[in-house]
Amino acid sequence: MLKSKTFLKKTRAGGVMKIVREHYLRDDIGCGAPGCAACGGAHEGPALEPQPQDPASSVCPQPHYLLPDTNVLLHQIVSAWRPGTWASVASSLRLPGSLETYVEQEQGENANDRNDRAIRVAAKWYNEHLKKMSADNQLQVIFITNDRRNKEKAIEEGIPAFTCEEYVKSLTANPELIDRLACLSEEGNEIESGKIIFSEHLPLSKLQQGIKSGTYLQGTFRASRENYLEATVWIHGDNEENKEIILQGLKHLNRAVHEDIVAVELLPKSQWVAPSSVVLHDEGQNEEDVEKEEETERMLKTAVSEKMLKPTGRVVGIIKRNWRPYCGMLSKSDIKESRRHLFTPADKRIPRIRIETRQASTLEGRRIIVAIDGWPRNSRYPNGHFVRNLGDVGEKETETEVLLLEHDVPHQPFSQAVLSFLPKMPWSITEKDMKNREDLRHLCICSVDPPGCTDIDDALHCRELENGNLEVGVHIADVSHFIRPGNALDQESARRGTTVYLCEKRIDMVPELLSSNLCSLKCDVDRLAFSCIWEMNHNAEILKTKFTKSVINSKASLTYAEAQLRIDSANMNDDITTSLRGLNKLAKILKKRRIEKGALTLSSPEVRFHMDSETHDPIDLQTKELRETNSMVEEFMLLANISVAKKIHEEFSEHALLRKHPAPPPSNYEILVKAARSRNLEIKTDTAKSLAESLDQAESPTFPYLNTLLRILATRCMMQAVYFCSGMDNDFHHYGLASPIYTHFTSPIRRYADVIVHRLLAVAIGADCTYPELTDKHKLADICKNLNFRHKMAQYAQRASVAFHTQLFFKSKGIVSEEAYILFVRKNAIVVLIPKYGLEGTVFFEEKDKPNPQLIYDDEIPSLKIEDTVFHVFDKVKVKIMLDSSNLQHQKIRMSLVEPQIPGISIPTDTSNMDLNGPKKKKMKLGK
């Protein structure tokens, strides 16, 4: 193998240093075209299509490959061209290392020019190379660049070159592709007024200087949901934790979009403003509205008291854009035949986006996805391009898709690469699988799950040993046996992080073959498991703990109800039933002990929809029922998790993946304490134990639901539990479970954290080998970060899905009146909970175009006095629930007060003359 070498010399600032690096140019990189005799299959990785499908381009009729330059690639990859033509991306890999296409930087040539030249050389090489390959099928490489000079040079050198736009326009078969092109062309924006609206963004180098010297502050830009002219920037500083800066007015926002990382400059104190309480939505259609907007801005600033002023700033530059494709709807332009339209994202924090499309009429009334391409200084709105059509508004599939996209839940079908790592069917346990595994098939193991569960990841057994002690086993599906570290399947599940359960759908973390078949511990088949086996005495004290990989054969898959029935019925005495009874007995002791230690039993109103089996429309709601068997399974899962957490932390003190639940700051409890006091109850919050005890004692004979309400309220005071890497944190405590250490081990089918924990445990007991990422605490911390994000998003998506189904339910149900309890009292509204539906909503008492009723809010009690009626927390009220579909994009549940009756506020009980757009606008909060 021939190697030649060159020296690259570099100097670094701060003392001149000569760095000599070798670079080996290779002569064995294949062109990637299959059947190329010259390269002889030297190419590895993705290959070019053997015969590029003819995309019927009018500028280039013969079959060809495309060679996009880096800028085109970066900006247009989302354009979703046919995969076949894109295969030439592989060719750019050739650039740096190949002998024939190496390009030395010339004197006076900058790095960009050199790159351009290198790509041109590669294109030329490809053309000559392909010509050699076959004389008959005239394959050609077409160079795509948006840089005019680059294109001219390429044509000069005899390379067929086009701009992206030219090429896509010429694709006669797919005229709609042009819509998807990111509009970056400099000359394309002739319609825009030349007037410059925004000040220029400073270059990154200047921003970094400014941030270092303290003139600018770096933070995350968060647009306001209520007011499009206002935003806050969260400064991520080390000492001044979470400082917030207010930005007001279009010019000060300076083209920042929600979630961008920006640099802001503080304004002098004289220009500071207070956050306005006005709700403002961007409704302007015209470009010339800028002056009008300035007026509104001025209006915002009036009438604020001195002490309300907050630090105010303006955006001077963008450090990192965080644009993603946005879901929303098209607001069709008033001008007929116009191709430019405004797009209104579903998320109110995102500005409207101007897109160019010829399909406006077909896209109207549909949910579409649009990506932002840029925001020029002279444009009121950012420019974007159409990406995808999701479907009609209100359709269940479309809305599900929207909520998945908006919550960033990866839900595409698994790719071929991922599926290729699945075991081949028919699958059976081989000799090799049995290595390091214990055969537990003779044990009487059973699983207990909710009805209809297909991904069974845990199973249990309990038997009496000869010495009189009990042997209890928790058997968890051995997912890590199938998902090997580092392969595409592993990467995809790590990315998904968790299975997302929506009302009518499940978005799997692992392909169905694993989740519902090979990993699922179904009854009467041999399955691989990871077992945690304890020897306990009859007092539920652990005498011995053993972890082992195993093979099990579950004897029964029971539902909670079935298991309960077996335990309760006196005339069943088979092995499974005795096993269950033993487990149940131990679980009760364990639970008692856990509660004594101060574990919290909290409550949240959970509902389950009864779905129509054919239309999948919700027909009824039911709150979840809890049985003894639920807590039996839960108790052993907790025990297994804690045992595993101890073991992996003992073995890997620096890089065990654990889960913690921080204790909430005392201020979080204020609302709970105040609410309880208004009912003459005392809630102690100094420790988890005293909280648990005082919650237990907080009973009212006349008001049995009060305790549940208090528990619901207490849940709201809690912090989020998070995954973390033991080497990066010192506080391991799990507040809610009152355990000094905790992790997730028991649901590897639906949580990726458990897969990692399985791997750690397998290494700890010597059943599996390790790999470098597993013992790298920084990589582990990254995984934790992603998992925490995915779990949060999955939760939000679940809630949004429940909210959407609630809407569907009330749509079919019409208007109903229900009893409700007040959960919170706000300045101008009350938040109520309807126990029957587990539904929470806000009843507003203030209206824009109506005279405001007299409201007196007392923060101390807290209470709200409207006219003559006083509302306290936990008061029982009656509300009317209906669906408000006046805004197509944001349908919502409205609630209005029925009882107690307040003249002018509450609505009459008879529903005959309901006016949906009437005085009481009630909102259902989605993300609460």
Partner 1 sequence: MAGLELLSDQGYRVDGRRAGELRKIQARMGVFAQADGSAYIEQGNTKALAVVYGPHEGMGQGWTQGSQLKGARGRHMQDRERKTGGFVLEIRGSRARALPDRALVNCQYSSATFSTGERKRRPHGDRKSCEMGLQLRQTFEAAILTQLHPRSQIDIYVQVLQADGGTYAACVNAATLAVLDAGIPMRDFVCACSAGFVDGTALADLSHVEEAAGGPQLALALLPASGQIALLEMDARLHEDHLERVLEAAAQAARDVHTLLDRVVRQHVREASILLGD
* Burial class of 578 by CB neighbour count within 10 A (0 to 12, 13 to 18, 19+): middle
Q: Is 18 in the site for partner 1 (CB under 8 A)?
A: yes
- Phi/psi for 507 (5° steps) reads -100, 105
Interaction residues for partner 1, span 182-201 (CB under 8 A): none
Min dist. Cβ of residue 785 to partner 1 (A): 16
**9, 13, 15, 187: which one binds partner 1 (CB under 8 A):** 15
- Are 261 and 322 in contact, with CB atoms under 8 Å apart? yes
Min dist. Cβ of residue 210 to partner 1 (A): 23
Residues 92 and 86: their CA atoms lie apart, in Å, by 11
Q: Which of 587, 586, 580, 588 is nearest to 563 (CA)?
A: 580
Q: Is 487 in the site for partner 1 (CB under 8 A)?
A: no
Closer residue to partner 1, CB minimum distance, 23 or 624: 23
Closer residue to partner 1, CB minimum distance, 77 or 769: 769
Q: Is 320 in the site for partner 1 (CB under 8 A)?
A: no
Per-residue contact flags (x/-) with partner 1 for residues 29 to 48, judged by CB under 8 A: ---------------xx---
- Are 119 and 69 in contact, with CB atoms under 8 Å apart? yes
- By CB under 8 A, the count of residues binding partner 1 is 25
Closer residue to partner 1, CB minimum distance, 434 or 769: 769
**603, 770, 885, 911: which one binds partner 1 (CB under 8 A):** 770
Residue 545's beta-bridge partner residues?
Answer: 534
Closer residue to partner 1, CB minimum distance, 86 or 375: 86
- Are 133 and 37 in contact, with CB atoms under 8 Å apart? yes
Using the contact rule CB under 8 A, the part of the chain among 455-463, 511-519, 768-776, 783-791 near partner 1 is: 768-776
**40, 413, 451, 772: which one binds partner 1 (CB under 8 A):** 772
Q: Is 97 in the site for partner 1 (CB under 8 A)?
A: yes
What SS3 string covers 126-144? Answer: HHHHHHHHCCCCCCEEEEE
Using the contact rule CB under 8 A, the part of the chain among 184-192, 767-775, 882-890, 915-923 near partner 1 is: 767-775
**427, 703, 771, 789: which one binds partner 1 (CB under 8 A):** 771
Q: Is 14 in the site for partner 1 (CB under 8 A)?
A: no
Nearest-10 Cα torsion for 784, 788, 789, 791? 130
Find the helix or strand (DSSP H, E) in which 820 lies: strand 816-825
Min dist. Cβ of residue 14 to partner 1 (A): 11
Pairing of strands 542-559, 437-439: parallel
Using the contact rule CB under 8 A, the part of the chain among 505-513, 584-592, 747-755, 764-772 near partner 1 is: 764-772
- Are 184 and 382 in contact, with CB atoms under 8 Å apart? no
**89, 93, 103, 595: which one binds partner 1 (CB under 8 A):** 93
- Residue ranges in 407-537 assigned as alpha helix (H): 416-419, 431-434, 479-482, 488-496, 512
Q: Which of 597, 589, 587, 592 is nearest to 628 (CA)?
A: 587
Which amino acid is it at 706? L
- Are 523 and 556 in contact, with CB atoms under 8 Å apart? yes
**188, 450, 486, 665: which one binds partner 1 (CB under 8 A):** 486
| DSSP-based helix, strand, coil % in the chain, nearest 5 | 30, 25, 45
Examine residue 55 and say whether the peptide bond preceding it is cis (omega within 30 degrees of 0). no
Using the contact rule CB under 8 A, the part of the chain among 21-29, 113-121, 122-130, 717-725 near partner 1 is: 21-29
Using the contact rule CB under 8 A, the part of the chain among 10-18, 151-159, 618-626, 635-643 near partner 1 is: 10-18
- Are 146 and 373 in contact, with CB atoms under 8 Å apart? no
Triad 723, 728, 733: Cα angle to 5°: 55
Q: Is 611 in the site for partner 1 (CB under 8 A)?
A: no
Residues 42 and 834: their CA atoms lie apart, in Å, by 68
Q: Is 21 in the site for partner 1 (CB under 8 A)?
A: yes
Q: Is 435 in the site for partner 1 (CB under 8 A)?
A: no
Closer residue to partner 1, CB minimum distance, 267 or 657: 657
Q: Which of 882, 879, 908 is nearest to 893 (CA)?
A: 882
Using the contact rule CB under 8 A, the part of the chain among 91-99, 329-337, 550-558, 722-730 near partner 1 is: 91-99
Min dist. Cβ of residue 96 to partner 1 (A): 8
**728, 769, 856, 916: which one binds partner 1 (CB under 8 A):** 769
Which amino acid is it at 270? S
Torsion over CA: 563, 564, 565, 568 (sign): positive
Min dist. Cβ of residue 104 to partner 1 (A): 15
**96, 160, 394, 835: which one binds partner 1 (CB under 8 A):** 96
Residue 4's beta-bridge partner residues?
Answer: 25
How many other CB atoms sit within 10 Å of the CB of residue 511?
20
Q: Is 25 in the site for partner 1 (CB under 8 A)?
A: yes
Q: Is 22 in the site for partner 1 (CB under 8 A)?
A: yes
- Residue ranges in 446-574 assigned as alpha helix (H): 479-482, 488-496, 512, 560-568
Using the contact rule CB under 8 A, the part of the chain among 22-30, 117-125, 143-151, 470-478 near partner 1 is: 22-30
Q: Which of 512, 510, 505, 603 is nearest to 801 (CA)?
A: 505
Closer residue to partner 1, CB minimum distance, 5 or 269: 5
Min dist. Cβ of residue 486 to partner 1 (A): 6
Using the contact rule CB under 8 A, the part of the chain among 17-25, 145-153, 254-262, 701-709 near partner 1 is: 17-25
**9, 13, 20, 615: which one binds partner 1 (CB under 8 A):** 20
Q: Is 11 in the site for partner 1 (CB under 8 A)?
A: no
Q: What is the binding site for partner 1 (CB under 8 A)?
A: 1, 3, 5, 15, 17-26, 44-45, 93, 96-97, 486, 769-772, 775
